Amino acid sequence: MIRPLPAPGRLRAREVGFTLIEIMLVLVIGVAAYLLILAVPMRGASSADLKAAARSLAAGLRQAQTIAMATKRDTALTLDLDTREFTVSGDETIRQVGRELDLKLYTAQSEVTSEKRGAIRFYPDGSSTGGRITVASGERKYLVDVDWLTGRVEIRD
C-alpha cells in the first residue's frame, strides 16, 4: 500500500525534529566518550617539557664551561640520575629535571662517582672530558652532546 505525502504545511508534530529522549541519549553517549578520553593517562612528558629539560641541561653545561674559562679552574656539571638534579661547581644552585623524563649520562670513567651519579668536566682552556646526556620520554628523545676537544655543547633530536 502506498501512502500519499501530506500536503505542505500539514506535517504532524511527531514527524518534525527529535524527541527529548533522542537528544538526551546523544548527550549521554557524548559525555561517556569524553570521560573515557580523560581516563586515559597521558603517555610521558610533553614535547615542550622534553625540550625544556634538554635546554636546561645544555645551559648548565655552557655555564660550567664559562666558569672554568673565567676562573681558570676545572668546573663540572654533576648529574644525579636518581634525584633528577644537577649542579655546577662554582654555582651551588640545585636544578631539577622533570620526574617523568628518562635520563642517561655517558661520560669519562674518571667522572663517574656512582652507578647513578656522574659529571662532565670542563677545563680552563674550554675543552672537556666530553660526554652525552640523553633526555627521553617514550620514543622521543634529545641528545645533549659535549665535544671533548672544543667543549662545544649541542642539542640533537
pLDDT computed for residue 99 by the predictor: 84
Average pLDDT, the chain: 88
SS3 108: coil
Q: Grid coordinates representing 7?
A: 500536503
Q: What are phi and psi of 70, to 5 degrees?
A: -75, -40
How far apart CA 76 and CA 141 sit, in angstroms, is: 24
Q: Which regions in the chain score pLDDT beneath 50?
A: none
> What per-residue confidence (pLDDT) applies to 88?
95
Residues 120 and 127: their CA atoms lie apart, in Å, by 11
Coil/strand/helix, residue 138: coil
Question: In this predicted structure, what is the pLDDT of residue 14?
Answer: 55
pLDDT at site 3? 66
Of 107, 135, 111, 131, give the one whose Cα is nearest residue 48: 135
Instruction: Say what the pLDDT of residue 35 is.
Output: 83
Are 144 and 131 in contact by the 8 Å Cβ rule? The answer is: no
| Domains along the sequence of the chain with CATH | 47-156 (3.55.40.10)
- What is the Cα Rg of the chain in Å? 30
For 103, the enclosing helix (H) or strand (E) is: strand 102-107
Res 41: pLDDT = 56
The pLDDT value given to residue 48: 87
